[in-house]
Amino acid sequence: MKLFPFTSLAAIWMLIHAVHTVAAEDTVTVAWRIKPPHQYIENGVEKGILLERAKQVFAQAQVPANFVEEPAKRIWSNFSSGTKNYCSFGWYRIPERESLVQFSDIFHTDPPHTLLVSPVAIRQVAAHRSLASLMADRSLTLGVVDAVSYGPELDALIKSSKNRIERSTTLPMIMARMVGANRASYMLIDREDWEYLKDKEDSLRQTTQMDLAGMPAGLNRYIVCSKDMPPEQMQKINAAIQKVFRGKK
């Protein structure tokens, strides 16, 4: 049996290590926040319509990706600190994010938000005919999930609202439970989130879903990636969005 000299073995090891290093550097981390039914974990299994869609897009684009669940606040902290080879999905396009990330083509389009109202506030909320009137009511408490955006129009309405604001850096489903426990009079909630939660959460049985005039139209969601992602990678991701879903959002 022919033996390789030590120097040859060392060279082979260094080559293997270099290949693995390059492969690791080329792999994109795709972070996602828990937000059922779009993306969540159930009995240890990752599920959700947008999570599955994102995995299909990166596979179709042939962009190696490692999917990890992280809180929204950490995801945007990572973008702010310049984390490289880093993407996420399911985010609105708002001005303050433009300097932090690159946006893909449209990945999903939401229906309009709706209201989730606490058991004790239903009459007060129902007395209002419009969202603007509701948000001018100083006797009501609006539950707001921090570290996320409700879209430019709703963010502006929340900022100028005369309601008391109950803020929490938590998941939308936890804020919904807070509304069910009367810790807030109402919250703005994605209609798809509500459709998922209403039959699964006993704590929401006494809450009421309500629509008022003046609710902005549903917004588009995007895949977002760090600024260091090469243009050709973003082009592959955009092509994959179009090819896999053929215009369906």
Please tell me the predicted confidence (pLDDT) of residue 147. 81
Q: Read off the pLDDT band of 20 (50, 70, 90).
A: very low
Tens of pLDDT, residues 35-50 = 999 999 999 999 999 9
CA dihedral 184, 190, 193, 198 (to 10 degrees): 50
Q: Starting from the edge strand earliest in sequence, which strands make up the sheet with 86-91, in order?
A: 65-69, 28-32, 86-91, 220-226, 101-109
Supply 58's token pair. Answer: 């990166």
Please tell me the predicted confidence (pLDDT) of residue 169. 87
Question: What average pLDDT does the chain have?
Answer: 90
pTM of the model: 0.82
Q: Read off the pLDDT band of 56 (50, 70, 90).
A: very high
> What is the three-state SS of 177-202?
HHHHCCCCCEEEECHHHHHHHCCCCH
Q: Of 46-50, 191-195, 198-202, which gets the smallest average pLDDT? A: 198-202
Which of the four CATH numbers 3.50.50.60, 3.40.190.10, 3.40.640.10, 3.40.30.10 does domain 27-110+219-245 have? 3.40.190.10
Q: Read off the pLDDT band of 177 (50, 70, 90).
A: very high
Q: Which CATH architecture fits 114-210?
A: 3-Layer(aba) Sandwich (3.40)
Please tell me the predicted confidence (pLDDT) of residue 135. 98
Tens of pLDDT, residues 63-120 = 999 999 999 999 999 999 999 999 999 999 999 999 999 999 999 999 999 999 999 9
Task: Say whether pLDDT at 175 is over 60.
Answer: yes
Domain boundaries, the chain: 27-110+219-245, 114-210
